[in-house]
Structure 1
């Protein structure tokens, strides 16, 4: 049986040797925010997992899933604030924390409090005065390492002017190291990282297609669950990440060794599982999960033979989200306020005087407006930028997905600033740089 599943809409085609079946699930549960879909395979089904980032939850996601059986049956499951880590013939497995955190590094939380970047008491310097100060600071030769490489922090335009012969390790921002200092020498050398302790226990949950929910407490952090024949395989982290100090670069890198055990769950899911009670084998480094890997790998790209005419099929679009007027307004306001923040003064620390400065925003003539009725609402931002161009920049952001759920825009201004700084936008036409709509 071959499963052809739409990436955006609630529809799939099950294609066998001599038959084809179209299934839809327009009323299945979805996260409250716009979500991305991925596939998790089970021995007798495919789960379509919908995950949405929850901005206020420190990296957690909200997950739902739809099970598509080989017989064409579908059932939706609301998984909640858990991450899906695999499936077996009885259901789909999820975890509140599928990755362990490094041990606290010596000195974390010690020492002086950093200077506050939230202070509103500092006077605001004009952009022009700040740039004049930059020009004065940059008179003379740029500081270099003893091996001749440039060191310091430069704007992207300055890096472009330096040319290939001056390539080195750079950071962005305009200030450089103080005269007479040796930026190649760290003020203090990093201490070796602590030895990792055992990874934290975790309570997994298996959601069955029949509504059954089976919790399982494991004494180590579990990365993946899969089925191998009649047994269930748990891939786990025996310890927290292993830190390695590179003395040459004075930096620490982390690796995440994994092991796996095989457990017989044919009699049901126990309340607890101790990995030491089972024979474990180390997972070869080449087989370890990467941060951006799917549990079931990537879906195959369709070819022309996979095209299916759905013009006469009902239920291929999601049912509209049930949003209140207040919820709609809050989603629009969330985007508008982010963009309006661009006009506020920047708070910047500079190495040249080891002080914090408040400087006028490089964005000027900023205008933000919302238009269109839900779910077609858009927010348009227009501005000019003091550093990169005198053209008028314009970009439109869609606020809701086609089903009317808010689209995650938490890092909207970060992406916008990257596009401006790197020139990832169309050329100006009639004095306007018009970004593609998002």
Structure 2
């Protein structure tokens, strides 16, 4: 629908690059040139719907896809992959990325680390070294060891690479954990195989200035218009077993809405006060399967309220309904519902 948010937009060198949040398409606009379109409909992201991270550099932008979190991670597993969109609208796929932790992006490529590395502030040894993989837009991978953990890697424009390390393990304070960071003075050109920060004169990070810099790099969300370029994903390969498990997960999220909570003495209560006579129904075939959850509630005493969830995305990938029942509870508790007069045939879709 025109006007809804559907794009993320960043500055990359002298270009503006926009990527669709739900479709494999990007638009590159440069001064004095017609806009160019890049698409990647055949990128295999597995059987799970994805979340998108959009990172800019002075030579292009990275679109990183990672599987959405699910309550049962074994259902319809997904794949992590990335696409580099160049200033000439060339799309290059960096695949596979596995479960690597994403650190950031610079002109050198995507900065990644092993997913097994601990994020626990109390695990002191994990903060005293780092093994980094930098995946270039051309598909090559550079490995590099650092004697401290990398905090972030970003490109602020004009090939200005900013890479920072944690100078020491996190420290506890009354207000929480304290992290101390400093910039690494990287030289232009190829990255080294090893960085020994203890032998360098590090520049302490000005936190306020860094927050301003990072804020300026956050993608802008912009509305989709009727004449915007579109692209469709190739239909995902989802097994019959994963399809059935996905539907069961979606219906299970709304099981027993009239006895959702149980107190220490075994007394039950509905999802939210006043909710009665819930019904959960499955409609449609894959990939158009949807779950319809309807119930009676005092906010709409003349009929039933209904929430509809699509079990799969447009490509047929499982879209996990994580915390969907809690979100419904919050909407009812805050009375975040459409006008009563929008009800059709006694059903108010919320």
Larger Cα-atom Rg? 1
Cα 1:300/1:209, change in 2 over 3 Å? same
CA, structure 1 residues 409+201, in 2 after alignment: closer, same or farther (shift >3 Å)?
farther
Instruction: Mark the CA change 1:231 to 1:38 in structure 2 (over 3 Å): closer, same or farther.
Output: closer
2:206 to 277, 284, 290: 284
Match of residue 203, structure 1, among 131, 134, 137:
131
The residue aligned with 1:89 is 107
- Give, in angstroms, the shift of residue 378 of structure 1: 0.5
State the match for 1:401 in structure 2.
313
CA distance in 2 between counterparts of 1:393 and 1:303 reads 29
Q: Does 1:376 align with 2:288?
A: yes
CA distance in 2, matches of 1:328, 1:294: 40
Q: CA RMSD in A?
A: 3.6
Contact (CA 8 Å) 2:62, 2:85: kept in 1 or not?
yes
Matched, 1:257 2:201: no
Q: SS at 1:80's partner residue?
A: coil
Please state how far the C-alpha of 1:432 moved relative to its aligned partner.
5.6
1:346 aligns with 2:346: no
CA distance in 2, matches of 1:50, 1:11: 13
Structure 2 Cα separation of the partners of residues 342 and 217 of structure 1: 52
Distance 1:64 1:70, change over 3 A: same
Deviation at 1:329, TM superposition (A): 1.3
| 1:218 counterpart (146, 158, 164) | 146
Q: Are 1:93 and 1:205, in contact at CA under 8 Å, matched by a contact in 2? A: yes
**Total equivalences in the alignment:** 319
Q: Look up the match of 2:81.
A: 64
Distance 1:13 1:389, change over 3 A: closer
Query: In structure 2, the residue corresponding to 1:419 is in which secondary structure?
Result: helix
- Once the two structures are superposed, the pairs formed by residues 410-421 of structure 1 within 5 Å of their partners are 410-421=322-333
Query: Aligned pair in 2 of structure 1 residues 324, 283: CA closer, same or farther (>3 Å)?
Result: same
Q: Indicate the residue corresponding to 1:239 in structure 2.
A: 168
Distance 1:384 1:230, change over 3 A: closer
| Structural mapping, 1:32-431, within 5 Å | 32-55=47-70, 63-78=80-95, 79-95=97-113, 96=115, 100-103=119-122, 199=127, 201-227=129-155, 232-245=161-174, 252-264=175-187, 266-270=189-193, 272-288=194-210, 296-299=217-220, 301=222, 310=229, 316-344=231-259, 346-348=261-263, 356-362=264-270, 363-384=275-296, 392-428=304-340
Partners in 2 of 1:419 and 1:66 — Cα distance?
A: 36
Q: Do the aligned residues in 2 keep the contact of 1:66 with 1:75 (CA within 8 Å)?
A: yes
Gap change, CA 1:11 and 1:364, over 3 Å in 2: same
Larger deviation, residues 326-335 vs 421-430: 421-430
Instruction: Single out whichever of 370-379 and 15-24 deviates more from structure 2.
Output: 15-24
Query: TM-score under structure 1 normalisation?
Result: 0.62
Aligned-partner SS, 2:315: coil
1:265 to partner: Cα distance: 7.2
SS in 1 for 2:309: strand
Contact 1:243–1:255 (Cα < 8 Å) also in 2: yes
8 Å CA contact 2:131, 2:143 repeated in 1: yes
The 3-state SS of whatever aligns with 1:263 is coil
Matching residue of 1:5: 19
